[in-house]
């Protein structure tokens, strides 16, 4: 391997320490405790794992953590009523409704019912519009984490060629927007992109966010490029024992690491940054709600 490893786990710990420092200051200087409410509807096992981990980290940085677990059959009106209550609760500064929602619930309607100032996921249509026009907004956590790692590694990414593979509303599109706002030259590639290998080969920065295990091979990577792997895919790993699995990203790590200048591993790359950025967004939302200066380095 020749690439520098971008250690998301260590970086996320640094971000959480910064958040914890701000939380302490808010408590001691202003008697304010930032509060995050997480709403989980149904019993999706992956969502339960995420929510548990979010709760643990929220408490660890000294914030108030509130969890609402609702039955899978919850009526839309009841979920909207809960969001309304959280919107007006002065002790809650961030609201996250865990996705995916059960099929009978309209995800867009639910997300857009959250007060945009408390939308720590950055999914509300107002925040999407603000980000798209380069204005102050709440920024989706995963792309924010990727941006922080890129800024840390490169200093400035101005003028660099960036290719984002994947066009989801949660990662691909906001990632492209953030790179553009930092003056990179941005291409969004997706399943219909022609000559994908050639498109990726032009990039100084590759962000892979497609959800297809190891789909980007090393010979697509320009020598010295920075590779950010957003994918978290579980593969069978019979070599580790019966029924065992291992996590892999959207890039083929070994071959990409042999060519790239820097690369994020899976696990331990983008993943830990996502929750760290959720905490950062909650502190930012809390400062904004109270007319206090925002923490530096924790926003886009």
- Say whether residue 12 binds ligand GUN (CB under 6 A): no
Q: How far is CA 47 from the centre of its chain?
A: 15
When the beta carbons of 37 and 262 are compared against ligand GUN, the nearer one is 37
Give the C-alpha separation, 223 to 135, whole Å: 35
Min separation Cβ 34 and ligand GUN, Å = 18
- Say whether residue 281 binds ligand GUN (CB under 6 A): no
Tokens representing 226 are: 């920075």
When the beta carbons of 143 and 265 are compared against ligand GUN, the nearer one is 143
Q: CB-side exposure of 195: number of CA atoms within 13 Å?
A: 4
Binding span for ligand GUN by CB under 6 A among 51-59, 91-99, 147-155, 232-240:
91-99
Q: Which residues are catalytic?
A: 54, 98, 121
Min separation Cβ 98 and ligand GUN, Å = 5
- Say whether residue 141 binds ligand GUN (CB under 6 A): yes
Min separation Cβ 141 and ligand GUN, Å = 6
- Say whether residue 287 binds ligand GUN (CB under 6 A): no
- Say whether residue 121 binds ligand GUN (CB under 6 A): yes
Q: Which residue is nearest to ligand GUN (CB)?
A: 99
Q: How far is CA 171 from CA 14, 38, 94, 177, 283, in A?
A: 22, 20, 20, 10, 21
Give alpha helix (H) positions in 31-140.
45-60, 76-88, 107-111, 125-132
Q: How far is CA 196 from the centre of its chain?
A: 25
Q: Extract the runs of DSSP E, i.e. beta strands, from 80-204.
A: 94-97, 161-165, 185-189
Binding span for ligand GUN by CB under 6 A among 97-105, 181-189, 258-266, 291-299:
97-105
- Say whether residue 40 binds ligand GUN (CB under 6 A): no
Q: Extract the runs of DSSP E, i.e. beta strands, from the chain.
A: 4-5, 35-41, 64-70, 94-97, 161-165, 185-189, 205-208, 226-229, 233-236, 245-248, 262-263
The binding track of 160-199 with respect to ligand GUN, each residue x by CB under 6 A or -, is ----------x-----------------------------
- Say whether residue 99 binds ligand GUN (CB under 6 A): yes
Given 58, 98, 127, 299, the residue binding ligand GUN (CB under 6 A): 98
Binding span for ligand GUN by CB under 6 A among 21-29, 92-100, 195-203, 256-264:
92-100
Give the C-alpha separation, 147 to 154, whole Å: 10
Whether 102 and 42 have beta carbons less than 8 Å apart is answered as yes
Tokens representing 199 are: 């498109």
Min separation Cβ 96 and ligand GUN, Å = 5
Interaction site with ligand GUN (CB under 6 A): 96-99, 121, 141, 170
């Amino acid at each position: 391997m020749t690439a520098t490893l971008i250690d998301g786990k260590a970086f996320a710990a640094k971000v959480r320490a910064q958040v914890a420092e701000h939380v302490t200051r808010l408590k001691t200087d202003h008697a304010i405790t930032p509060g995050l409410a997480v709403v989980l509807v149904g019993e999706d096992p992956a969502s339960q794992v995420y929510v548990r981990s979010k709760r643990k980290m929220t408490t660890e940085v000294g914030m108030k953590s509130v969890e609402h677990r609702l039955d899978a059959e919850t009526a839309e009106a009841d979920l909207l009523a809960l969001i309304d209550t959280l919107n007006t609760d002065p002790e809650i500064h961030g609201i996250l409704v865990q996705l995916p929602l059960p099929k009978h619930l309209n995800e867009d309607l639910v997300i857009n019912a959250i007060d945009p100032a408390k939308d720590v996921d950055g999914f509300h249509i107002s925040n999407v519009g603000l980000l798209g026009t380069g204005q102050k907004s709440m920024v989706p956590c995963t792309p924010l984490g990727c941006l922080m790692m890129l800024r840390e590694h490169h200093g400035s990414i101005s003028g660099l060629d960036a290719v984002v593979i994947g066009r989801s509303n949660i990662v691909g599109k906001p990632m492209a927007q953030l790179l553009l706002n930092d003056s990179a030259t941005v291409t969004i590639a997706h399943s219909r992109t022609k000559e994908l290998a050639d498109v990726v080969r032009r990039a100084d920065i590759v962000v892979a966010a497609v959800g297809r295990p190891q789909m980007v091979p090393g010979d697509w990577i320009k020598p010295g490029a920075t590779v950010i792997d957003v994918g978290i895919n579980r593969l069978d790993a019979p070599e580790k024992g019966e029924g065992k699995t291992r996590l892999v990203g959207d890039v083929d790590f070994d071959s990409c690491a042999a060519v790239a200048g820097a690369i994020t591993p899976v696990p331990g790359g983008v993943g830990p940054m996502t929750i760290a950025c959720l905490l950062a967004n909650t502190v930012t939302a809390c400062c904004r709600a109270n007319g206090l200066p925002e923490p530096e380095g924790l926003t886009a």
